[in-house]
């Protein structure tokens, strides 16, 4: 099994608060090419600002979601984004670490 980054989010994410996630992601992109799992179990609200960020990141490396609520799963489905939703971190690790990681 390989490795991956787990980014645990909590609270609300919209156009005014997404900058925190963008900053952390940018720092992570500078030091690693490993897949990323966003743990959304503690997210109380997320709109398309978070979804757009996840889609953009997916262009650079494999990305998965854990703990996506019904609204986030619906946004992912309607957008056609290639963002797999996993039941737990173990399933995400198993699936994403098997992917080939992109070249830096």
Tens digits of per-residue pLDDT, 17-44?
999 999 999 999 999 889 999 999 999 9
Rounded distance, CA 30 to CA 33, Å? 8
Tens digits of per-residue pLDDT, 39-96?
999 999 999 999 999 999 999 999 999 999 999 999 999 999 989 999 999 999 899 8
Q: Domains in the chain and their CATH numbers?
A: 5-96 (3.30.750.24)
- The two tokens of residue 59 are 């262009």
The pLDDT confidence band at residue 99, using thresholds 50, 70 and 90, is low
**Strand, helix or coil at 4?**
coil
């Amino acid at each position: 099994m390989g490795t991956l980054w787990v980014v645990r989010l909590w609270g609300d994410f919209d156009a005014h608060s997404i900058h925190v996630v963008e900053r952390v992601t940018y720092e992570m992109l500078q030091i690693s090419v490993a897949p990323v799992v966003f743990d959304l179990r503690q997210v109380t609200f997320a709109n398309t600002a978070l979804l757009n960020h996840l889609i953009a990141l997916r262009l650079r490396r494999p990305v998965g979601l854990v703990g996506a609520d019904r609204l986030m799963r619906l946004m992912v489905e309607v957008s056609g984004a290639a963002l797999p939703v996993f039941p737990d971190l173990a399933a995400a690790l198993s699936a994403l670490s098997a992917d080939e990681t992109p070249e830096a």
